[in-house]
Structure 1
Amino acid sequence: MTDSNIILSVKDLLVKFNLRGKILTAIREASLDLYEGESLAIVGESGAGKSVFTKTFMGLLDANGWVDSGSILYKGEDLAKYKREEDWIKIRGREFAMVFQEPMTSLNPLKTIGSQVEEAVILHQGLKGNKAKKKVIEILDDVGITEPERRYHQYPHEFSGGMRQRVVIAIAVACNPKVLICDEPTTALDVTIQAQILNLLKELQKKYKLTTIYITHDLGVVANIADRIAVMYAGDIIEIGTCEEVFYNAQHPYTWALLSSLPQLGVKGEPLYSIKGTPPNLFNEIKGDAFAPRNEKALKIDFVERPPYFQVSPTHKAKTWLLDPRAPKVEPPESIKILRRQWQVRANG
């Protein structure tokens, strides 16, 4: 990955909302580079700001929200400066498309599946009539819908949850986007269907040469599909690295906590680990490391000064004072040590 491959560059993004006269800071000067052709997962608890962060790329913030400062650079344009709907129309679908987590809220129950996918084909690919219909059937087949010619004429209520999610993915792909954002695309589905949808997204990424962003609260979901993982907490990206680096060599105590919460790291007969406390109130000013009040191993400075990024490797960095050369040695939880030992064994062949 080199700077020349960066397709999107977000710098110091600050996003605020006005809620009943009070100001909530949803994104706190977050920065991120997205590389062309990669698969990036943004993980964190509910309320971390994952969806809000990516909605700024498409101008989809609610009316009471705004980008207060920072930049979103894409193809030489700063999307953070876009104010008019006409500007965003050039971006939505054509450059960025989104797959939402609940397909029934994305589909019109009064229109056939075929007509809904066709709208995107007509608008973004310029096809009409039989050519448009043929393209829709091809896309339905690509997303794994059997008998696409027959299904073309059916309505959303005639599809199962997993099949509806495939249709929503088909609509996004029909826009012919450069970047596909998947917002918790498997949350409403059972485990077997989840795996099918994730494999499908992986296949579509290769076929359509997509750059993909997955938003999820479950690190386990992205283990097999993400090239890189960005960990988000309280509106900021606090750790980012390759999938292997974040899983096996995590540095931030919040990432340790997220990994420790994975059911597969649980010990038989013992209760599953859960993160104590609650995320900070984003109506209030946050001092120091936002995770400090929930971190049993927090240093004094964590409550006073916000940590900068410390570089772990050329592809891995984290915002934690534990990486400062002056910091005392703090041991990670046992589950993290086990993961690190597994990584070392693999690295040594």
Structure 2
Amino acid sequence: MITEESKKPILSIENLVIKFKLHGRILTAIRGISLDLYKGESLAIVGESGSGKSVLVKSIIGLLDNNGYIDKGSIYYNDEDIATYKIEKDWLKIRGKEIAMVTQDPMTSLNPLKPIGKQIEEAIVLHQELIGKEAYEKTLQLLKDVGIHDVERRYKQYPHEFSGGMRQRIVIAIAIACNPKILICDEPTTALDVTIQAQILQLLKNLQEKYMLTTIFITHDLGVVAKVADRLAVMYAGEVIEFGKSDEIFFDSKHPYTWALLSSLPQLGVKGEELFSIKGTPPNLFKEIKGDAFAPRNPYALKIDYEQNPPFFKVSETHYAKTWLLHPKAPKVEPPENLKAFFEEGRRFANEG
């Protein structure tokens, strides 16, 4: 959680623009994002597939595809603008050691020809400078910390001898073995069933406390991060369109796109009726977007939405939303009926808590 001592961001993104060269054309994947991350917090970045979530976090760790580049803006970490890094040698100073990443497909992160214990131990030797028995004992402790039993035997086994959930635990152990300050979790539960998802999320929450991690969760599913995120940032078409504390986004959100994401939650469905889905498709990011990118899919869109991109409007000291509906002269618009009861129940629960 954010404390009084951690007011200064550990990571600060300022007006970031990221572009890709594709077949002689330019695609703007990130369109002027500014976002702060505070020490000890858990920040979730949510949005549909293609909204730019993974591109954003890959830029933080220097893993953009070869045809991608930072066109404008800054990423400050330890008072240094890491957006200016041009060579792999620079990124190796922070990748793993300072900022580590857990991906959604553990098999792409594990060497199928090497025992999992050796893979964890390599990270310990490289980043914690332990060797021999000390590195081995630390490896066994990490395996225990991520919920793997019979660690001496498991140390010698290969990735194919583990289930998907167990492999994800091993990938998490490797990331933590690097002793990072920031842990990025890019859709870490997507390939897992619901029961295992909950276990992995709880594990990450426990590890955050034990290892004093600052975490970033990337997901398209708001329900996944409901219990683990301190703050949420909602992305659409390469922009952050709303951010705030988890309770503010879940129970007092203001942007119609956030309303649409919440309406898509299975628990808000009505038995016998189709689940809600957002009509239309995201905009073409090869083209310049005029006005609010969500306007063509927004049933509450105003005329100005098609002409001018809205600024952020302040809802509270910690809550901001990028929608013209918050302008003092905008007509009063209520959230969808299915969300009103959800909001009221959430606020009541928060007050009782």
Q: TM-score scaled by structure 2?
A: 0.97
Q: Which residue number corresponds to residue 99 of structure 1?
A: 102
The one of 257, 261, 275 equivalent to 1:254 is 257
| 1:93-150: CA deviation from partner (whole Å, max 9, x where unpaired) | 0110000000011101001101111111011000111111111111011000111111
Q: Which residue number corresponds to residue 221 of structure 1?
A: 224
Partner Cα distance (2:201, 2:237) in 1: 27
Number of aligned pairs? Answer: 349
Q: Which residue number corresponds to residue 197 of structure 2?
A: 194
Partner Cα distance (2:286, 2:209) in 1: 42
Partner Cα distance (1:80, 1:348) in 2: 42
The one of 139, 162, 166 equivalent to 1:159 is 162
Partner Cα distance (1:43, 1:4) in 2: 23
Residue 65 (str. 1) matches residue 72 (str. 2):
no
Residue 267 (str. 1) matches residue 276 (str. 2):
no
Q: Which residue number corresponds to residue 335 of structure 2?
A: 332
Partner Cα distance (1:197, 1:345) in 2: 29
Change (3 A) 1:65 1:348: closer
Q: TM-score scaled by structure 1?
A: 0.98
Q: Which residue number corresponds to residue 312 of structure 1?
A: 315
Counterpart code for 1:248: F
5+ residue gaps, structure 1, are none
Counterpart code for 1:224: K
CA RMSD of aligned residues (A): 1.0
| 1:67-91: CA deviation from partner (whole Å, max 9, x where unpaired) | 0000101111001111121110001
Deviation at 1:267, TM superposition (A): 1.2
Partner Cα distance (1:234, 1:226) in 2: 22
Q: Which residue number corresponds to residue 301 of structure 1?
A: 304
Counterpart code for 1:203: N
Q: Which residue number corresponds to residue 35 of structure 1?
A: 38
What SS is found at the alignment partner of 2:60? Answer: coil
Partner Cα distance (1:190, 1:240) in 2: 28
| 1:248-279: CA deviation from partner (whole Å, max 9, x where unpaired) | 00100000000000000011122111000011
Counterpart code for 2:144: D
What SS is found at the alignment partner of 1:284? Answer: coil
Q: Which residue number corresponds to residue 10 of structure 2?
A: 7
Q: Percent identity?
A: 69
Deviation at 1:330, TM superposition (A): 1.5
Partner Cα distance (1:203, 1:345) in 2: 27
Deviation at 1:347, TM superposition (A): 5.2
Partner Cα distance (1:88, 1:228) in 2: 27
Partner Cα distance (1:248, 1:201) in 2: 24
Residue 45 (str. 1) matches residue 48 (str. 2):
yes
Partner Cα distance (1:277, 1:196) in 2: 34
5+ residue gaps, structure 2, are none
Residue 110 (str. 1) matches residue 113 (str. 2):
yes
Partner Cα distance (2:336, 2:7) in 1: 38
